[in-house]
Structure 1
Amino acid sequence: MKKNFTLDTVLFVSALICFVTGILMDFHAIPGGKEMRRPFKLAHTYSGYVMAVGVILHLAWHVDWIKNSARKIFGR
């Protein structure tokens, strides 16, 4: 239970960072030149990597639930 909560928290925070930095960069809401945008781009990129790894872990940890749910839905 604790590992699920920790993973969900990491996924939420990384998704939030990725979302906010993506919106800021898309609407050019970051003042300054390239030197000011670089930290936002790095945060956006690496939070996306963290989120991707988190999703893979999440799916791996819940593979039995996914299999059982698929069997119930599609029959077998």
Structure 2
Amino acid sequence: MNELQFADPDERFLRRYDYGDRWVVAGDLGVADDGVDVDVVGATAIVVVDTDRGVSEAEFDLPGTGAEVLMRNGVLTITGQR
């Protein structure tokens, strides 16, 4: 398993885990599920977070296409196959 970690300008940390045949990007965004909008376009994820402090947007490359997105209890999980 390989792991990468990165953060957007608002210091929300995401981690990427590589498991050979699949990969996972996960992070605790610390906001309500309905305050997050995630779009995956090809191998790019666009995450928009709306809080009482305003709206922030982060865009990052994924290691592949065809990703599935799950947002539950403030935790974002994006998974895909190699």
- TM-score (norm: length of structure 2): 0.25
- TM-score (norm: length of structure 1): 0.26
- Higher Cα Rg, which structure: 1
**Which structure's residues are more often helix, by fraction?**
1
Between 1 and 2, higher relative CO (CA 8 Å, sep ≥ 6) is seen in: 1
**Which structure's residues are more often strand, by fraction?**
2
